[in-house]
Structure 1
């Protein structure tokens, strides 16, 4: 019996590239913040996301920890996630009116919705999530316009490198049992990638310059 592709169950069955048209435009999300509720275990923040936020708010990574961001451990790796607040589990960056206070610098995963990202080899494509957005009659929009990411090629290169790195680090820690070694790895990860903010225009060049050194410190070839 042939197994069913999970994408067939959660998407329209198509894969999209940056120049494709897709029915994802919500028309401004006026009066709705449904996709900003109870998603704390979904929105993991990359170094790019955090750098955008700390620059925009003029604060440090550690100032956001506990209040707006929480560390979650998956496969022995501690990474920052958006924090959900109170019993309603709304994103900590929403204001009283339910609007995003960092909308222009929101994380890449937030930019995607209702799109998702699927990795294939050394590339990724986008898919349209079905049934997750309460808005009716989503309109066609070019993927590039919907994402609204500056320097898209550099951003994509970073995302692919980060995805590959996290996979490698997961494998590296798979057989590590020493708690002190795991803690040291996570401290190096946070210090090297999240606690060092740079000017937005310099992020990609600085990341790629420091990437090999930090990978070496973490034992990643």
Structure 2
């Protein structure tokens, strides 16, 4: 999701890489769950996020749409996000003790927080958001340890490729007034990359890249 603000306004002014130390460690949150409330539709999910949730909860992606996730428009794309519930708008996965009930399968957005990604030249670096987390006693931790994701180099490549594919989709959507094309392209992305299950018995990434290749070929035809 694009943010039309200067990075200097929302960060400490530094860009971080995986082996850098960043002041993000909130010591297991110590009972705080502020970042799991009032997030609206901002916890946008990528295909791996939905695949992880589906496998962890043993629910087909379409079943997740009944309660746990919802679809909304972001920069022209229709994408899924985590649902918030109740008067406090708590994350649907927050338990009564104020803890995450899906922590091993939590989305990339949650793994990053309070970090964000700054994309440039078909790559990205991390930045520390300074207005988001209320904790004032955070300590330094290595970025790769904080993100806590297997195969980080492969994961970073996937995140980059997915980000720029969505940008290419957006360009097609912004440049056309054909409402049927807009609808069909958005349905294609949702159905092909999110709702069609990935085989949990094999590696996610090769399956994703098969679909990405198909998606890029489709976009090239739409741009002709």
Give me the TM-score of the superposition, normalised by structure 2.
Answer: 0.91
1:197-219 Cα distance to aligned partner (Å, 9 max, x none): 22275101111122111332344
Provide the residue aligned with 1:21 in structure 2. Answer: 21
Please give the residue correspondences for 1:89-168 in structure 2 after superposition, counting only pairs within 5 Å. 89-168=89-168
Q: Please tell me whether residue 184 in structure 1 is matched to residue 184 in structure 2.
A: yes
Write the deviation string for residues 116-175 of structure 1: whole angstroms up to 9, x where unpaired.
111111211111111321212110110010011100011011001001001000001113
> Secondary structure at 1:140's aligned position in 2?
strand
Partner of residue 194, structure 1:
194
CA drift of 1:179 comes to: 2.6
Unaligned runs of 5+ in 2: none
Change (3 A) 1:201 1:14: farther
Structure 1 residue ranges (4+ consecutive) displaced by more than 4 angstroms after TM superposition: 218-221
Q: Is the 8 A contact 1:55 1:200 kept in 2?
A: no
In structure 2, distance between residues paired with 1:74 and 1:178: 19
Which deviations, in whole Å up to 9, do the C-alpha atoms of 1:20-48 show, x marking residues without a partner?
01111000112111001121332110001
Distance 1:60 1:14 in 2: 40
Q: TM-score, normalised by structure 1?
A: 0.92
Q: What whole-Å deviation, never above 9, does each CA across 1:74-130 have from its counterpart, x for those lacking one?
A: 343210011111221111111122211111111111111111111111211111111
- Look up the SS of the partner of 2:165 in the other structure: helix
Range moving further from structure 2, 179-188 or 211-220: 211-220
Q: Which residue of 2 aligns with 1:210?
A: 211
Runs of 5+ consecutive residues of structure 1 not aligned to the other structure: none
**Cα distance between partner residues in 2 of 1:193 and 1:116:** 23
- Given that 1:114 and 1:129 are in contact with CA atoms closer than 8 Å, whether structure 2 keeps it comes out as yes
Q: How many residues align?
A: 217
| Structure 1 residue 84 corresponds to structure 2 residue 81 | no
Distance across 2 between alignment mates of 1:18 and 1:220? 37
Residues 26-71 of structure 1, C-alpha deviations (whole Å, 9 max, x = no match): 0011211100112133211000110111001100111111411110
Contact in 1 for aligned 2:77/2:186 (Cα 8 Å): yes
**Residues 168 and 220 in structure 1, CA contact (< 8 A), matched pair in contact too:** no
CA contact (8 A) 2:198 2:207 kept: no
